[in-house]
Copies of this chain bind each other. A is one copy, B any other.
Amino acid sequence: MAVRFGVLGAGRIGQVHAEAVARVRGAELVAVADPVQAAAEAVEARHGCKVRTIDEIAASPDIDAVAICTPTDTHADLIEQFVKAGKAVFCEKPIDLDIARVEACLATVAQTGGTLMIGFQRRFDPDFRALKAEIDRGAIGAVEMVALTSRDPGPPPVSYIKRSGGIFRDMAIHDFDVARWLVGEEFETVMAAGSVLVSPEIGEAGDFDSVNVILRTASGKQCTITCSRRAAYGYDQRIEVLGSEGAISAANTHRAKIEVATGAGYTRPPLLDFFMERYMAAYTAEIATFVDCLRDGMPVPTTGQDGLMALVLAEAALRSAETGRAIPVAEVTGEAGGV
CB <8 Å contact, B210 and A260: no
CB-CB < 8 A to A192: which residues of B?
214
Interface centre among A245, A260, A263 (most CB of B within 10 A): A260
CB distance from A44 to the nearest CB of B (A): 15
Q: Give chain B nearest CB distance to A55 CB in angstroms.
A: 32
Q: Pick out which of these stretches binds chain B: A63-71, A156-164, A223-231, A292-300.
A: A223-231
CB distance from A336 to the nearest CB of B (A): 21
Q: From the candidates B130, B226, B232, B326, name the one contacting A255 in the complex (CB within 8 A).
A: B130
What residues of chain B lie closer than 8 Å to A324, measured between beta carbons? 189, 191, 325-326
Q: Quick one: given A265-B267, A268-B265, are A220 and B196 in contact (CB under 8 Å)?
A: yes
Contact A210 B214 (CB under 8 A): no
Is A100 located at the chain interface by the 8 A CB criterion? no
Question: Which residue of B is nearest A259, CB measured?
Answer: B249
A232 touches B263 (CB 8 A): yes
- Shortest CB–CB separation between residue A188 and chain B, in angstroms? 10
Number of interface residues of A (CB under 8 A): 67
Complex CA gap A198/B147 in Å reads 18
Residue of B nearest to A25 (CB): B46
The interface residues of chain B lying within 8 Å CB-to-CB of A261 are: 140, 231-233, 246-249, 270
B262 and A140: CB pair below 8 A? yes
Given A231-B247, A257-B250, A266-B270, verify A197-B224 contact (CB < 8 Å): no
- A93 CB contacts on chain B under 8 angstroms: none
Interface membership of A134, Cβ < 8 A: yes
- How far apart are A140's CB and chain B's nearest CB, in angstroms? 7
User: Is A131 part of the binding interface, using a Cβ–Cβ cutoff of 8 Å?
Assistant: yes
Are the CB atoms of A145 and B267 closer together than 8 Å? no
| CB<8 Å pairs between A and B, sample of 9 | A130-B269, A131-B258, A145-B197, A212-B222, A233-B262, A248-B258, A248-B261, A261-B270, A325-B325
